Amino acid sequence: MRTIYQADAPKRPVNLSLNSDLLRLGKELGLNLSSVAEEALGYAVSARLAEQWLEENRAAMEAYNRRIAAQGVFSDGLRTF
């Protein structure tokens, strides 16, 4: 997966509110909570950026699909399947 942020940026302390039972279980299992939170935030940011890209490019994709539906693609007469 391509990194969408500067991985070597300095760490910054933050305050979080988490479900106390989930926090307890994570600590009992020896999870590095900072790493888990950073990884989850990375996935959430990636998903939101993908949603934004789709929304920003929706009109162009719809126009392309309409053109292909109306005119086909250059290889339509060449395909053997």
pLDDT at 41: 96
Annotate the chain with DSSP letters as a single string. Answer: ----S-TTSPP--------HHHHHHHHHTT--HHHHHHHHHHHHHHHHHHHHHHHHHHHHHHHHHHHHHHH--TTTTT---
What values do phi and psi take at 73, rounded to 5? -115, 165
Does residue 56 or residue 79 have the better pLDDT? 56
Residue 81 has pLDDT above 70, yes or no: no
Residue 1 has pLDDT above 70, yes or no: no
pLDDT 10s digits, 14-69: 999 999 999 999 999 999 999 999 999 999 999 999 999 999 999 999 999 999 99
pTM of the model: 0.74
Per-residue buried b or exposed e for 53-65, using 16+ beta carbons within 10 Å of the residue's own CB: eeeeeeeeeeeee
